């Protein structure tokens, strides 16, 4: 432990020194960059693009009967899609919030069902064009709440996590969600598959093992057969690039939860780090909130070595994911800690980090049971505060799915904690023209609406007194949007927040909804 403390102190303080030097070098680079001619700046920017757009496998698959999909009529900004006439997983017979109404203009817009071109006379001036734009915002404003909805998708590693959490709770593959939702998820994953058979870390990234392993698992969990052409191509890509053992840390975490990887092959998420004294410079409470709230449930799952029970489906997945040359049963998982494909490696693993993991790995052999239990109990307490203060939405989609798994591991699938998580899964699922995906947040409701209000108010100020322009749609948009922004202000602090590593939140605005509740500085400024 002394060696570990020394290694982390070394990493932290020497890292600060080098970070300072890097910052100075960056400022010098920015200064020189600013003096370059415009042509050279444009050339540099084109070369700075991290990767070219990926080639898709085939023409995008269109949706069937998208006219039947609607958002439930929540006044608090919740965005939950459902298909008219289909049962839902948790609210059958008691939450028909759309009331049999017809599809709104906003819903048609989100699903790509509005005409691409609308016949109208050309605007006679810039002011008239701006008024037309404000009128369009009014058309796509969600009537029940007054906010603007938006597709906040992109990452390809989010949807697999929530599907694994649902499967772990006892649902069978192909029966995790109502079939209309599953069908749209399958369509989305097929649409995002690249020509080489793999998937990227995001919709615009080239294929890697992170996106490919998890997206393959997601399609299998959604009921797609292993001999499906898309999965045959995906297996070929995965096997050719090293298989699951060459996937990065987060992929290994999820595959260990699903029992198609071994916790022995995952670098340690030591729970005891969370019960160190707060003055320790590397205590996790000092992490950026999105980092902290993800590694919190990771530490609990690692400490419990939670994995779903082995079934024939799990054995089939193991056979499919691993190359025949190194099958699951013959893999030495402990030797794969730092095996990461070049496709997924953005930075090399430092010697200090390797040494730290080595010491933490040794600690696992001697970790006192009483200390591990105390740490696990504290982690559960921290997650309970996070779950309850966010109405089981959690700070983001990654820890949402992970906290759900932890609730299952600690309390069981019939527990209030796990079922409360399951009831809020729909908040993260967004349907668009390319299918249903899991968003990077439960939405961007406050953020988008606040900017739109400011733009529309500017239009109204610039056109004040213009009788030749129809300003009523713009005024109506601002009235309803203002009411939404006002209601989204966070009214309370997290009880005993400082003790649970939380800042004050009362008076702030979130990125999405007041139920989410995490205070964000730039969202607060825009909301104000």
Q: Which residues are catalytic?
A: 522
81 Cβ contact list (under 8 Å, min separation 6):
69, 70, 71, 72, 181, 426, 429, 430, 431, 436
Q: How many residues are given for the chain?
A: 528
- DSSP one-letter code for 344: T
Please tell me whether residue 243 adopts helix, strand or coil conformation.
coil
- Give just the sign of the alpha carbon dihedral 169, 170, 172, 175: negative
Alpha carbon of residue 424 to chain centroid:
14
Q: What count of Cα atoms within 13 Å lies in the side-chain half-sphere of residue 364?
A: 20
286 Cβ contact list (under 8 Å, min separation 6):
none
Distances (CA, A) of 318 to 248, 306, 330: 17, 17, 11
Distance CA 302, CA 272 (A): 11
Distance CA 517, CA 441 (A): 12
Distance CA 331, CA 410 (A): 29
Number of Cβ atoms within 10 Å of the Cβ of 370: 8
Using CB atoms within 10 Å of the CB of residue 421, give its burial: 0 to 12 exposed, 13 to 18 middle, 19+ buried: buried
- Give just the sign of the alpha carbon dihedral 80, 203, 387, 513: negative
Could you give phi then psi for residue 270, rounded to 5 degrees?
Answer: -70, 115
- Give just the sign of the alpha carbon dihedral 137, 142, 146, 152: negative
Contact 501, 382 (CB under 8 A): yes
Contact 73, 167 (CB under 8 A): no
Distances (CA, A) of 469 to 128, 131, 134: 7, 8, 12
Own/partner pairs for 48-52, CB < 8 Å, 24+ apart?
51/205, 51/206, 52/206
Contact 396, 520 (CB under 8 A): no
Q: Which two tokens stand for residue 110?
A: 């989100």
DSSP 491-502: --PPTTGGGGT-
């Amino acid at each position: 432990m002394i060696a570990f403390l020394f290694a982390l102190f070394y990493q932290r303080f020497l890292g600060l020194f080098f970070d300072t030097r890097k910052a100075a070098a960056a400022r010098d680079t920015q200064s020189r960059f600013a003096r370059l001619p415009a042509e050279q700046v444009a050339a540099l920017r084109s070369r700075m693009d991290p990767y070219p757009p990926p080639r898709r496998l085939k023409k995008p698959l269109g949706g069937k009967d998208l006219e039947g999909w609607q958002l439930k009529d929540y006044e608090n900004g919740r965005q939950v899609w459902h298909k008219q006439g289909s049962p839902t997983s948790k609210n059958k017979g008691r939450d028909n919030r759309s009331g049999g109404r017809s599809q709104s203009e906003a819903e048609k817009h989100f699903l790509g069902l509005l005409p691409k071109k609308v016949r109208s006379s050309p605007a006679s001036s810039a002011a008239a064009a701006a008024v037309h734009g404000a009128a369009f915002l009014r058309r796509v404003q969600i009537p029940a709440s007054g906010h603007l909805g938006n597709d906040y998708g992109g990452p390809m590693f989010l949807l697999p996590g929530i599907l694994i959490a649902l499967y772990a709770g006892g649902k069978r593959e192909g029966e995790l969600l109502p079939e209309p939702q599953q069908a749209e998820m399958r369509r989305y994953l097929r649409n995002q598959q690249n020509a080489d058979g793999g998937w990227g870390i995001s919709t615009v990234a080239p294929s890697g093992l992170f996106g490919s392993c998890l997206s393959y698992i997601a399609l299998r969990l959604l009921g797609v057969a292993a001999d499906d052409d898309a999965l045959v191509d995906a297996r070929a890509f995965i096997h050719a690039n090293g298989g699951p053992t060459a996937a990065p840390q987060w992929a290994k975490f999820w595959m260990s939860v699903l029992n198609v990887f071994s916790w022995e092959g995952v670098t340690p998420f030591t729970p005891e780090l969370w019960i160190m004294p707060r003055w320790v410079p590397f205590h996790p409470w000092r992490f950026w909130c999105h980092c902290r709230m993800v590694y919190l449930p990771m530490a609990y799952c690692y400490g419990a070595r939670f994995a779903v029970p082995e079934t024939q489906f799990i054995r089939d997945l193991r056979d499919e994911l691993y190359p025949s040359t190194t099958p699951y049963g013959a893999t030495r998982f402990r030797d794969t800690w730092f095996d990461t494909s070049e496709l997924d490696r953005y930075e090399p693993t430092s010697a200090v980090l390797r040494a730290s993991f080595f010491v933490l790995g040794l600690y696992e052999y001697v970790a006192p049971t009483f200390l591990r239990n105390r740490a696990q109990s504290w982690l559960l307490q921290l997650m309970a505060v996070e779950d309850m203060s966010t109405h089981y939405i959690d700070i983001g989609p990654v820890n949402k799915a992970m906290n759900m798994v932890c609730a299952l591991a600690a309390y069981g699938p019939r527990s209030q904690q796990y079922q409360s998580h399951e009831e809020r899964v729909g908040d993260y699922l967004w349907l668009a023209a390319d299918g249903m995906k899991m968003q990077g947040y439960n939405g961007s409701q406050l953020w988008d609406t606040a900017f739109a209000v400011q733009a529309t108010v500017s239009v109204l100020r610039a056109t004040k007194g213009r009788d030749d322009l129809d300003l009523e749609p713009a005024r109506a948009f601002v009235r309803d949007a203002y009411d939404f922004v006002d209601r989204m202000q966070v009214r309370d602090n997290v009880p005993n927040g400082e003790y649970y590593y939380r800042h004050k939140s009362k008076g702030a605005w979130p990125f999405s909804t007041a139920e989410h509740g995490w205070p964000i500085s730039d969202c607060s400024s825009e909301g104000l």
